[in-house]
Structure 1
């Protein structure tokens, strides 16, 4: 009986709840993307198209993408190759450094982003329906704190070797 009470008093499983929420949102998003006819684009592809679209006036290189999304070089390389193969992005050489390649959206990539964005906007409206603005601000603040906690823990482990 005492062991059972201890299990009930256990801390909430935040990670599990975040995972469940992520799964539910992903499922809903896949459905919306399929309806919009752009289901060949993965979530990572969509986020990358958005990043490039929003930074069209800036020179974006692979290292910028790695940093922004906190992912490794090989992941970004694979994603960019897939997006190039599908005709969504291209890489152009930089005048002053032949080793650098600026990542740019094609017209197809631009249009696909706009379609995806309308699906995401609809989902975002659905997610916050009936939730007070203050609660959303608290949620976003907590999410940021959780992200920072994870990053700090990872840094500590990296420093220890």
Structure 2
């Protein structure tokens, strides 16, 4: 039997390295650690509720609110009351938020290319399929997994 600590430990190291790398790369844009994930969700579908974004990213409402407020303060997003539920807010990208998309995608591609530089194309594809299969186990049906298996339409 495989030691789960080996698998989960490796995933955790990759995840933390990914966050640290992205935080450093995006520091000049004043996009904090993990905040780019919120932008990535909005690139797929703009105008989601804060609650939907939190559920999609599997973070608490408090974490979501804090990240969105920081992104709003830096001018990447704006919040607007939901017309159907005045207690809720929908989050939209600003022009500045849309403009930084290409930079974020380039940084993500750079990180993944560096991570997988020693992998053959076949190993890359196998890893992609296995990670996607594992992520589907824990994903709600209302939103596609945030596995970047295809480029996001420009």
- Report if TM-score (shorter chain) is over 0.5: yes
Corresponding position of 1:79: 67
1:102, distance to aligned residue in structure 2 (A): 1.6
Unaligned runs of 5+ in 1: 1-9, 152-161
Where 1:43 maps in the other structure, the secondary structure is coil
Corresponding position of 1:126: 114
Q: For 1:42-53, what aligned pairs fall within 5 Å after superposition?
A: 42-53=32-43
Bigger Cα Rg? 1
Corresponding position of 1:13: 6
On the 8 A contact 1:49/1:109 being kept in 2, the answer is yes
Corresponding position of 1:156: none
Q: Which one scores higher on RCO, CA 8 angstroms, separation ≥ 6? A: 1
Corresponding position of 1:112: 100
Q: Normalising by structure 2, what TM-score?
A: 0.71
1:52, distance to aligned residue in structure 2 (A): 0.8
Alignment coverage as a number of residue pairs = 138
On the 8 A contact 2:26/2:32 being kept in 1, the answer is no
Distance 1:82 1:41 in 2: 8
More helix by share: 1
Over residues 7-65 of structure 1, what are the superposed CA-to-partner deviations in whole Å (9 max), with x where a residue is unaligned? xxx9472222222333433443344334xx22x21232101112112213xx4101210
Going from structure 1 to structure 2, the CA distance change for 1:24 and 1:92 (only over 3 Å counts) comes to closer
Q: Normalising by structure 1, what TM-score?
A: 0.68
Corresponding position of 2:81: 93
Over residues 73-109 of structure 1, what are the superposed CA-to-partner deviations in whole Å (9 max), with x where a residue is unaligned? 1111111122222222111233344333221011122
Going from structure 1 to structure 2, the CA distance change for 1:18 and 1:81 (only over 3 Å counts) comes to same
1:137, distance to aligned residue in structure 2 (A): 2.8
